[in-house]
Amino acid sequence: MSSVVFLGVPACRNEEWLQLCVDYSINVFTTSLTLRMFPPFMHPIAARLIPARRRIWQNIEASKRILAPIIESYDQRKAEKQENVLPTMLDWMLENDTGKRSIDELAVRQLILTLASIHSTASTVSQALFDLCAHPELIKPLEEEAKTVLQQSGGTFKKEFLPRLELLDSFLVESARVNPLILRKSIRIYLFRRLC
């Protein structure tokens, strides 16, 4: 879902890119957790021995290989002045690049964006499901609203009909308000320290 916003169609359906986004996230967190087992003065040495850290560099190289043709197509679209293409985050990054464009920097930035989006989106959706389990009385009204909107849309969900899901929107907003991501981070750090 986030790849549509970051890279657009058809790049967002590239199986290698989607797997790369997941692998990069896992490798970053694995490296981070492994480094925490060592005192800070040992980090420069320990980092070189962590296999997940080497895989991060492999992920970056794969990202550069995947993004290079997308960037070339952006340049081609700009030269041809194509206006009918939906803009993406990568387009915005390319348009607002103040210095010499570097595929290395763009690849790393895209991976960091996917890392943040995967983690925050998964965490938010998981918490919303937990809240729904804690309040099963909300399932029926949410289901009724979804059925009504689905009937109004002719049996298929379209992006234009999402604003009509007002109850779902309110539920997700309230779930995020009651369970902010920042609080969950400190709980995870506390639990990690207690377990280690």
Q: Position 188: which residue type?
A: R
Looking at the predicted structure, is the pLDDT value of residue 126 above 80?
Answer: yes
- The per-residue DSSP string of 83-132 comes to -SSPP-HHHHHHHT--S---HHHHHHHHHHHHHHHHHHHHHHHHHHHHHH
Does the predicted model carry a pTM greater than 0.75? Answer: no
pLDDT digits (tens, 9 = 90+) for 141-169: 999 999 998 888 887 777 778 888 999 99
Summarize pLDDT for 90-123 with one digit per residue, the tens: 888 888 777 666 888 888 888 888 888 877 888 8
